[in-house]
Amino acid sequence: MLLEKLTSACGLPGFEDEVRDIIKAELERHADSIKVDRIGNVIVFKKGKKDSPHIALSAHMDEVGLCINGIERDGTLKFASWGVDSRILPSMHVLIGKDKIKGVIGNKPIHLQKEAEQKQVYGIDAMYIDIGCDSKEEAEKLVHKGDFVAFSSQFVAFGTNKVKAKALDDRVGCAAIIEIMKMDLPISVTGIFCVQEEIGLKGSAIAAQSLDADLVINIEGTICADMEGIEESKRVTTQGAGPCLSLMDMTSIYSKRYLEAIVKVAEDDKIPYQYRRTGMGATDAGRYHAGGAGTPCIGIAVPCRYIHSPVSVMHKNDYENLVKLIEAFIKKGAERVIG
């Protein structure tokens, strides 16, 4: 399964090579051109039966994780975080560097904690990664400062059409673009697979400077908290209710004209959809609509529970309906609205 292959790959910011290789292999027989720019973005172009309009689909390849920044005398490792809540880290299994050295994250055991310590949340500074070494010299033969640290988490299908995996943010977007670009398309489409989104939208800032498209559809795995005990207004999205459309976030106000056009396609084709009920967060769309000459954007996403963790959960129906909706818009709605 494509999504399993993508989420099983390790692709921390600046280390997206595994994901990039999968994308290139999947699309080499389906694209008119594939190039990798200087920062590492993959730009894939597929010429349609008509040259106009031209739509770009964008997703990011990188995932949240950690980075080694110290090796202790006892062989344990210190680390920094890329977008991870420190409260989820103790006892997590991790993979370090290109050789995927196995490790576990630990801190002081509860038996040795004072009463006051048991009531506090430990920060990253109090944690370490244990790779089974007894000395700094032994550890230095296996890992180095600057090595990425990815979660070790298997792709699991479970429950009622649900999937658990790491990096659903944003391998769902990568998978969707790959599926769409394998289709017979009536118009030209550029697929943009960005690097370093999780550390400040770095890859899309570069891609936006040379992009010449009429519209960017930014595809994401986004926040979902549709569990009991959480107020309806704070659930953001609901699993199984369809892909979600963004009105705005911290970097973008999405184009109303194109948003209304994709909603019309969804309603005409009876494809379920919902709105993302928060303005929090940021996506690569923020770079596209403000970069170069400025490109209109819409954002569409798959709701993912427990995002930015090794156990994100999505509903397969939401992903499948996201692909259907984008396909239908490209085939039926794009020419009508872009003209």
Q: Report DSSP letters for 2-51, one per residue.
A: HHHHHHHS--BTTB-HHHHHHHHHHHTTT-SEEEE-TT--EEEEE--SEE
- How many whole angstroms separate alpha carbon 295 and alpha carbon 58? 12
Find out whether 19 and 182 touch, Cβ atoms under 8 Å. Answer: no
- How many whole angstroms separate alpha carbon 318 and alpha carbon 126? 39
The overall longest dimension of the chain from CA atoms, in Å, is: 70
Active-site entry in 26, 63, 197, 198: 197
Could you tell me where the DSSP H helices lie in the chain? 2-8, 17-27, 115-118, 136-140, 168-181, 202-210, 256-268, 285-288, 316-328, 334-338
Phi then psi for residue 223, to 5 deg, are: -65, 140
Question: Which one-letter amino acid corresponds to residue 171?
Answer: R
Task: Tell me, yes or no, if 138 is annotated catalytic.
Answer: no
Handedness of CA 223, 273, 256, 57 (dihedral sign): positive
- By annotation, the residues acting in catalysis are 197
